[in-house]
């Protein structure tokens, strides 16, 4: 799936997940969605060209750090699982798995947060942006499960592969499903924002209890809803699970 598709789908997906706090905590929403945007293409640093290559200086610097962390990640995985025969240093390799991408991000994000803290610049939005990067990367992997190449989400501990029929080599005019999926998530996100904005209307009385829940619980609910939507889209994409 192309980088622009990952960004579009992940930002729309993030809009749905974070819809409960957009109106009440806009600063926190902005920090999280920024992180999701940055992380939405992070797993693709295992490609020949970094997705951060043509961004601003900060993004390019982040991309360079992540590229080096990727090599450290591959070394760490090989140390833990010396008999692992899967791909480590190629596209859709170890960085396209939950253990690989989460470790790679941590190698970069934790030191950055420590440095920012000792510079006296650390604040909650910094933590939220960091968390958003993790979320964006995870969404990227779930999106790639719908493509024909697929993803081994739990490599190197298992070789189970999730894959669909979206052709990642086709042009955007030929393969329109990624854009359609992004529009669906965006539409659902906007609908949820409208529900929270109009919560005092009598039409929402049957679900009024949701508005009394904490924002954290509300986000859990929207996350579960978004994952159900993802699963439907995964199956619609011809999604299958290969256990060999």
Q: Tell me if 36 sits within 8 A of 14, measured CB to CB.
A: yes
Q: Does residue 244 belong to any structural domain of this protein?
A: no
Q: Which domain holds residue 89?
A: 3-234
Q: Does residue 137 belong to any structural domain of this protein?
A: yes
The SS3 of residue 113 is helix
Q: Does residue 240 belong to any structural domain of this protein?
A: no
Domains in the chain: how many in total?
Answer: 1
Conformational region of residue 92, where left means phi above 0, alpha means psi within -120 to 50, and beta covers everything else = left
Q: Does residue 118 belong to any structural domain of this protein?
A: yes
Residue among 4, 49, 14, 1 at smallest CA distance from 139: 14
Q: Give the pLDDT confidence of 54-69 residue by residue, as tens digits.
A: 676 777 788 888 888 9
Q: Does residue 241 belong to any structural domain of this protein?
A: no
pLDDT for 113 equals 95
Q: Give the pLDDT confidence of 2-32 residue by residue, as tens digits.
A: 888 999 999 999 999 999 999 999 999 999 9
> Nearest-5° angle of CA 148, CA 18, CA 36?
50
Q: Does residue 177 belong to any structural domain of this protein?
A: yes
Mean confidence (pLDDT) of the chain: 90
pLDDT for 49 equals 66
pLDDT for 68 equals 86
Cα distances (Å, whole numbers) of residue 97 to 27, 192, 198, 221:
30, 30, 40, 25
What is the crossing angle of helices 124-144 and 98-118, to 10°? 160
Q: Does residue 242 belong to any structural domain of this protein?
A: no
Whether the per-residue pLDDT at 164 is higher than 70: the answer is yes
Higher pLDDT, 101 or 49: 101
Q: Does residue 50 belong to any structural domain of this protein?
A: yes
């Amino acid at each position: 799936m192309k980088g622009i598709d990952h960004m579009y789908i992940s930002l729309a997906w993030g809009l749905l997940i974070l819809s409960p706090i957009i109106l009440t905590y806009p600063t926190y929403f902005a920090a999280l969605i920024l992180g999701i945007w940055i992380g939405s293409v992070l797993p693709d640093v295992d490609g020949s060209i970094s997705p951060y290559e043509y961004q601003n200086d900060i993004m390019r610097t982040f991309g360079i750090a992540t590229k080096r962390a990727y090599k450290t990640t591959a070394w760490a995985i090989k140390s833990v699982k010396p008999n692992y025969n899967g791909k480590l240093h190629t596209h859709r390799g170890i960085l396209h798995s939950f253990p690989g991408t989460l470790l790679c991000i941590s190698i970069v994000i934790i030191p950055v947060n420590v440095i920012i803290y000792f510079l006296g610049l650390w604040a909650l939005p910094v933590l939220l942006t960091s968390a958003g990067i993790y979320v964006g990367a995870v969404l990227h992997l779930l999106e790639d499960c719908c493509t024909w190449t697929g993803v081994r989400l739990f490599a190197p501990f298992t070789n189970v592969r999730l894959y669909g029929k979206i052709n990642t080599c086709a042009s955007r005019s030929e393969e329109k499903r990624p854009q359609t999926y992004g529009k669906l998530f965006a539409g659902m996100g906007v609908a949820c924002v409208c529900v929270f904005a109009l919560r005092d209307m009598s039409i929402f009385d049957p679900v009024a209890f949701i508005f009394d829940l904490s924002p954290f619980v509300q986000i859990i609910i929207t996350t579960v809803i978004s994952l159900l939507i993802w699963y439907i889209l995964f199956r619609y994409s011809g999604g299958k699970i290969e256990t060999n």
